[in-house]
Structure 1
Amino acid sequence: MSTDIHDQIPRLLPSLTNLSQKASTTSDVERLRRWNLFRALNCTLDRVNVLEGHSGCVNALSWAEDGNLLISGGDDTTVRLWSIDPSQTIQEYPFTCTAVVNTGHRANIFNAKMLPHSSRVATAAGDAQIRVFDVKTALASANLGKEEISHSFAQTQVAIIRCHRDSIKRIVTEDSPDIFLSVSEDGTVRQHDLRTPHDCHSGSCTAPLIDIGHELSTLSLSPLSPHELVVAGEAPYGYLFDRRHLRRTIESNWGAIPNAGQGATTCVRRFGRQSRSNNSRYIARDHITGARISDANGHEVILSYSGDAVYLYSTKDDPEGKDDMSIMQSSLLASEGVGNSSTSEPAQERDMPSPNLRGVSISRLDESLTRPRQENHSNVPIVLPRHRYIGLRNIATVKDVNFFGPDDEWVVSGSDDGNFFIWNKSDGNLHGIYEGDGSVVNVVEGHPHFPLAAVSGIDNTVKLFSPTSTFSSFSRMDNAEQIIETNRRAGSAGIVRADLAALQVLADLRNAMDNEGLRPTLECTHQ
């Protein structure tokens, strides 16, 4: 016998009220937690722990199991699992290594991520392989409180993926234990599904999600906008792709895009900035080493340019014309004195001997150094940066870049001087400089819930930093001006030396071709 819904409302109202109050309480607790985390991270940081065990550079750091587990990997081709040892009461964050997996990679591990809703870890390395292993046994041992246990890859193997043709730099997980993305220096982004195994040697690999035409080194997507992803590498631009298939959806959101809807992804925006200097002798190839889309809002993007600075963009910003871009970027450069006749030429460069460029066109060599191998998206609109974050030196290695804080209030990056830098995202002002490595800091990963950051680089250790109410032994803010100026000068000189050396190599090659009578047959005579 059916009952009129109106008769049910008085009985349901108390339950609905309780649910509403519970939801409100939960929301208030979460807001309070985030506010307290922000307040803590707004204080000065200090080093609270050093995690030892790796025998080479630590290139990969990621938090897993909601922050209960720290995963690290590096040049020694091992992955280490770190968890808090409750028996230790001396340290504030007593993370200890409870398991080691010998992955079997034949080159440096660049990235290691645990796949969501699973105990699987995927690693990316310089041997062009992705290796996926299950760490249930290792985690079970850790839960039993046993000492560090070493496992071979064969004991935990799930899959070995060889779809890429060159070094794999980053893995990005999705909300799935089976599906994830990878980016490689072969210029492609691939999507992998562990539920559909295949034989890479037989040529049965699925087509890349993206094939951009030049080397790629970084990839990011946000859980708030998983259909959008940013890739970057050997080019002056970061590329925003929309992997939704419906052309009308893409055109409705982004406007008419050339070739929209063709293939699995569509490039809808480029993020760019003008060259760092108008000085013709200051020659450097644009290269982006790190990219992140904000997890907190899904539209802010940060890019770290080698030899330059970190830039903040937004997918919500309208693209600008070339004239607007020149005006804005000139203003950004002027803020650091670049382009001024008294400062545009680094002092170290003036005394450097010129290479023996006999019979070589400098403009042609300059073009070969600064131009990407291929620009497949030259008609895609360009978005300009909102802010520029300066002070770091990013020349020697591939630096990652990251947001920091419960709502991504800060931007953080490592530096060649062994420090890591934290800037206020909203205004670009420097929030902190901390010594994080004996040589170079490459990775900084903030904990998802605690006021804690894991830092690694050239050293074979991982450092943990947390707020302190007393003196910080590792803060370098008292020497900030000198550090920034030293980085500016050293970075400029380093770029110039590297590029002059590259020019000399090309010059020697062309001179050798002249001597052998090969040059006429190799040069294009049709243009």
Structure 2
Amino acid sequence: MMALSAAQNSRTHQRLSSQRWSSLNFDQVNVLGDDASYGHTGCVNTLSWARDGELLLSGGDDRTVQIWRMDPAVEHDYPFVCRSIIHTGHGANIFNAHMLPYSSNIATVAGDGQVRVHEVGEIAHTGPPATSQLDSRHTCIRRLRCHDNRIKRIVTEDSPHLFLTVSEDGTVRQHDLRTSHECDYSSCPPPLTKLNFELSTISLSPLTPFHYVVAGESENGYLFDRRQAGRFLMEERGMVENGMTHCVRRFGRPDGSFDPHSTREHITGARISSQNGHEVLLSYSADAVYLYSTRDEPEEEDMASRSPPLSPNHGAAKPTSSKRPRDDSSSDEDEDMAMDNDDNASDDEGPDLFFRKPKVSAPDEYAGVPMILPRARFAGARNVDTIKDVNFLGPDDQFVTSGSDDGNFFVWRKDGTLCGLFEGDGVVVNVIEGHPHLPLIATSGIDTTVKLFAPVSGPSTFSRMDAAERIIASNARQSKISRKLRRHDLAALLAAVVSDENTNVQCNHQ
């Protein structure tokens, strides 16, 4: 009887949650970090929910990770307060932070090319009466330098010991805290994947943990399979073997959906659905967000005339197999400087201080791997100025969301219909994370604060749906200008960026 009651309560909770999501009448319900006693002092680059949504982690340019926890003693509908501030000791901006499952360890990655693991004990769980300051000299239990360029993302696994990281050195690495080694670039375990261009994003789903998607300075996203299926079978299917993993699919766009003269392709965000394990989102710089499915059959050369099942706001047809030249320029590590970095690095040291080796363009080594075309396209947001993530929202991942350079975040239904548009930052929204159970959304970007959005009964003060047409048109014009500048007058663009940096406080986290 108790089990039946629990199941009924779960279904009731899910139904009520779905009803509150359905209208998307959300509004800003709290701002974390606007109190002078705590909060970040730079852009907030990463948000992640931990302990089944009890905790919210934030990290950013000030190189701290802040742990926010609900406090019933605070008189607020969403009483998240900062309980711990970890001074991580990173020498550059923090790009990602996650608490490892079944533990009190928090892994962080940054522009200094380091992975740091911090043991926070029960402070994160129970919390002291006031905000505690934790120094990395006491909390940092592991410092890894297996990557030789900036590390952008962490993916946790169903283990307190294992997690993946992706770096601009083109590699994906798995770290096992049960083993130790000296990072001298020869004794480190081999990477799971190594590509010949910068990688900036990775995602896997708990439903399909053997699959992960990576993307970066390429026109395609790549699906890798960690299961060993046999070398000869893989070769017979035309797939390329790479270390411990196999690239089994590419994700691309059909001709006409992008500027064919573009000299720089870049995917800024990737996400595999945690609810179904097969839907994949990719966010393209200066373009739009695209939805794929690993269950779809790849396009064949003789199927080039068939239009893909895109939403009505897409105006293209044929798949592409041609490769366009890229103007690749990146950075590598000044190894001695990175290795000598200590916990007292200056706050004005940017990530480019560590890595300055220019990169050269290279052909797609997986050009023969079958390509999947998108199911839908989500347009309206502007993704040019910073590196924006992409995400699903809702209890069934029924919504798609992305931040925008205009300070808003967009929410679409799976058919491509815009159903929510909210002001989420004073400048740019980069990160949007939905609570694992509650109809609650956390956003961050250039501002030093974290905003929380939840359903409200009355009108939404921060909704911008009434100005959606104007905002979308403005974003389209600005994106078009940016593409023209990239293509025809790169020098002018760089001069404009330098001028803007000299006159405005900008986030340099990406």
Shorter-chain TM-score tier:
0.7 to 0.9
**Which of 236, 248, 252 pairs up with 1:268?**
248
Deviations 1:123-157 (A, max 9, x none): 010111111001115326x534x111111101111
1:352-501 to 2 correspondences below 5 Å: 367-369=325-327, 373-425=362-414, 427-501=415-489
Partner of 1:57: 43
Whole-Å separation in 1 of the counterparts to 2:484 and 2:29: 38
Deviations 1:483-527 (A, max 9, x none): 111101101101221333437899xxxxxxxxxxxxxxxxxxxxx
**Which of 89, 93, 98 pairs up with 2:83?**
98
What amino acid maps onto 2:444 in structure 1? S
Whole-Å separation in 2 of the counterparts to 1:384 and 1:95: 41
Partner of 2:272: 293
Whole-Å separation in 2 of the counterparts to 1:477 and 1:459: 22
Deviations 1:244-303 (A, max 9, x none): 11328976xx9824345x6310000001003556876x5342210000100000011010
CA gap 1:378/1:150 in 2 versus in 1, 3 angstroms: same
Identify the range of structure 1 (109-118 vs 241-250) with the bigger mean alpha-carbon deviation: 241-250
Q: Secondary structure at the match of 1:55?
A: coil
Q: Secondary structure at the match of 1:367?
A: coil
Q: Secondary structure at the match of 1:163?
A: coil
What amino acid maps onto 1:119 in structure 2? S
1:229-240 to 2 correspondences below 5 Å: 229-240=212-223
**Which of 157, 162, 167 pairs up with 2:145?**
162
Is 2:163 the counterpart of 1:180? yes
Q: Highest CA radius of gyration, 1 or 2?
A: 1
Whole-Å separation in 1 of the counterparts to 2:259 and 2:124: 56
Is 2:103 the counterpart of 1:118? yes
Q: Secondary structure at the match of 2:327?
A: helix
Whole-Å separation in 2 of the counterparts to 1:326 and 1:305: 24
Partner of 1:520: none
Structure 2, unmatched stretches of 5+, are: 34-38, 318-322, 329-359, 495-510
Q: Secondary structure at the match of 1:494?
A: helix
Structure 1, unmatched stretches of 5+, are: 1-20, 340-363, 507-527
Deviations 1:403-434 (A, max 9, x none): 10111010111000000000012x11011000
Shift of 1:107: 0.7
**Which of 60, 67, 74 pairs up with 1:88?**
74
The answer to whether the Cα contact below 8 Å between 1:290 and 1:304 also exists between their aligned partners in 2 is yes
1:213-232 to 2 correspondences below 5 Å: 213-232=196-215
Structure with more helix by fraction = 1
Is 2:262 the counterpart of 1:283? yes
Partner of 1:512: none
Whole-Å separation in 1 of the counterparts to 2:112 and 2:79: 34
Provide the TM-score with structure 2 as the length reference.
0.83
Is 2:53 the counterpart of 1:67? yes
**Which of 180, 205, 210 pairs up with 2:193?**
210
Partner of 1:344: none
Shift of 1:324: 3.7
The answer to whether the Cα contact below 8 Å between 1:234 and 1:372 also exists between their aligned partners in 2 is no
Whole-Å separation in 2 of the counterparts to 1:216 and 1:404: 25
Shift of 1:338: 7.8
Partner of 2:341: none
Is 2:288 the counterpart of 1:309? yes
- Identity %, equivalent residues: 52
Whole-Å separation in 1 of the counterparts to 2:252 and 2:133: 45
Partner of 1:197: 180
Partner of 2:130: 147
Whole-Å separation in 2 of the counterparts to 1:450 and 1:504: 46
The answer to whether the Cα contact below 8 Å between 2:172 and 2:192 also exists between their aligned partners in 1 is yes
What amino acid maps onto 2:368 in structure 1? N
CA gap 1:193/1:326 in 2 versus in 1, 3 angstroms: farther
Whole-Å separation in 1 of the counterparts to 2:21 and 2:250: 32
CA gap 1:308/1:279 in 2 versus in 1, 3 angstroms: closer
**What is the CA RMSD across the aligned residues, in angstroms?**
2.5
The answer to whether the Cα contact below 8 Å between 1:292 and 1:302 also exists between their aligned partners in 2 is yes
Shift of 1:203: 2.4
Is 2:12 the counterpart of 1:32? yes
Whole-Å separation in 2 of the counterparts to 1:59 and 1:472: 26
Partner of 1:258: 239
Whole-Å separation in 1 of the counterparts to 2:464 and 2:445: 18
Whole-Å separation in 2 of the counterparts to 1:183 and 1:298: 20
Provide the TM-score with structure 1 as the length reference.
0.81
Shift of 1:179: 0.4
Partner of 2:115: 130
Deviations 1:429-486 (A, max 9, x none): 0110000001100000000111100000000000000011101110000011111111
CA gap 1:482/1:327 in 2 versus in 1, 3 angstroms: farther
